[in-house]
A = this chain, B = another copy of it.
Amino acid sequence: MTEPTDVDNDLGLPSRRRFLREGSALLGGAVMAGGLAGSEALAASDNADNLPPNVPEWMKAPGDPMGSQLYGTPSPFEKGVIKNIPDNLPQYLSASGRTPLQDLDGIITPNGLFYERHHGGVPTIDPAQHRLMLHGLVDRPLIFTMDDIRRFPSESHIYFLECSGNPNYKKPYGKTASDLVGLLSCAEWTGVSLKVVLQEAGLQPGAKWIVAEGADAAAMTRSIPIEKCLEDAMLAYSQNGERLRPQQGYPLRLLLPGFEGNMSVKWLRRLRVAAEPTYSREETSKYTDLMPNGSVREFTFYMEAKSIITRPSGGQRLSTPGFHEISGIAWSGHGKVKRVDVSVDDGKSWQEAQLQEPVLTRALTRFRLPWQWDGKPAVIQSRATDVTGYVQPTLAELLAVRGDNYYYHNNAIWPWRIAANGEVSNASA
């Protein structure tokens, strides 16, 4: 029998080989412990025509017929993978529900787990009755039905959305990745370029802002600089192929890639073109910040570069020492993620993680780093850098500048502590 090394060479196996060779023994060890050493050990000789021992129950009788779910749902064994919602909120009409980031892979958030943030509950809107009004400093004020909106040329893009209060700065800090930054999701959106719709109405001189209003009970209202409206803003009606979910603005929402999530006004009913912002309730009582010198920071649109390790992360447990992939997500409101560095020694040294292609503008980017855990306590963390060169800061750096009254736009590095027994917890808590 040929030695394994020669076989690998015959097959032309590539550059990852040395890494895998290192990981191999340990992975093999885990496999032996979990599989071969158990009750299902392989027969010494391979008999290709026989089923392996222990044919499971679910092979002995037909399964559920095709079409028993006309709209599919997850396995009953995944019933714990749901939105992360505190059960003791004072009220739920203006509240938020988080995506379980630590249970997800890749960059697409399934629509059922997309984060929620509402100011007056979720309206149930009949799309045949819904209208979008475009008025103010335009040549031709217009009212659109959903059919009108669908008549425009369409475009599709994968973009993240993130709440600007994700998370706040004060203890107690959350225990899981979802607790910390679960007001974050990513989807493929389809809709119309807002620029195209504005061209239809004709912008007048002095058009500097657009005030967007939602058709919810809060009439959620935000002012958007005209530059963003003419850059990459969309009127979105579909999310991951199907029409928007009610919680994400059915039948129509504004989508402002890279801006704080609340500005992507849901259930969009009105766009007023204006010379000045409107200073609505949601841009005065909320979504502004008091600086230590008493000045107010307002219109803080962009979500800055950020990242978090989702696996391993708080609440999880490493079963054994040995090979563990470190995996997480990174994003920036300013464009593409350029690099992500990971430290496994409490910030003393950093290694560049691999980014999963394609790396897309203003989308989540999945990063990964192979890691051999030696079984000793460790602190791991990730740090994103975006195309502008901006580097994700530490919490201490942010707090030093922003002071005690700051609430929004916390894009700090969040380190995880791994105990000797493998338990993972928030190292800042």
Contacts of A103 in B (CB 8 A): 242
**Chain B contacts for A141, CB-based, 8 A:** 42, 46
Chief secondary structure at chain A's binding surface: loop
| Distance of A406 from chain B, by nearest CB (Å) | 25
Quick check: A10 and B112 within 8 Å, CB to CB? no
Interface residue A426 (Cβ < 8 Å from any Cβ of B): no
Instruction: Check B83 against A67 for contact (C-beta < 8 Å).
Output: yes
Given A28-B140, A141-B42, CB of A240 within 8 Å of CB of B240: yes
* Mask: chain A, 116-131; 1 = CB below 8 Å from B; 0 = not: 1110111111110111
Q: 7 pairs across A/B with beta carbons < 8 Å?
A: A11-B230, A27-B152, A35-B144, A52-B131, A56-B269, A67-B116, A74-B111
Q: In the bound complex, do residue A95 and residue B72 qualify as a contact, i.e. CB atoms below 8 Å apart? A: no
CB-based contact A154/B109 at 8 Å: no
List the B side residues contacting A156 at CB < 8 Å: 105-107, 356, 366
B153/A370 in contact, CB under 8 A: yes
Contact at A216–B7, with CB atoms within 8 Å? no
Contact call B20/A200, Cβ cutoff below 8 A: yes
Query: Complex formed: what's the CA distance from A195 to B246 in Å?
Result: 42
Residue of B nearest to A66 (CB): B95
In the complex, which residue of chain B has the Cβ closest to the Cβ of A28?
Answer: B200
* A116 with B66, Cβ < 8 A, contacts A20-B199, A250-B75 known: yes
Do B190 and A63 touch (CB < 8 A)?
no
* B-contact 0/1 string along A17-38, CB 8 Å cutoff: 1001001100110110011101
User: A38's closest neighbor in chain B, by CB?
Assistant: B143
Interface check A188, CB cutoff 8 A: yes
Residues of A in contact, count (CB < 8 Å): 153
Copies of this chain in its oligomeric complex: 2
Decide: B242 and A27 in contact? CB cutoff 8 A. Answer: no
State whether B104 touches A215 (Cβ < 8 A).
no
The listed residue with most B CB atoms (<10 A of its CB), out of A59, A106, A250, A272, is: A106
Contact B93 A203 (CB under 8 A): no
Cβ of A16 within 8 Å of any chain B Cβ, yes or no, is yes
The docked-state distance in angstroms from the alpha carbon of A251 to that of B111 is: 20
Query: Which of A155-198 touch B at CB < 8 Å?
Result: 155-156, 187-190, 195-196
A368 interface residue per 8 A CB criterion? yes
Residue of B nearest to A131 (CB): B40
CB-CB nearest 8 A-B residue pairs: A63-B121, A35-B143, A65-B92, A105-B190, A58-B123, A106-B156, A70-B82, A105-B238
**A325 lies within 8 A of chain B by Cβ:** yes
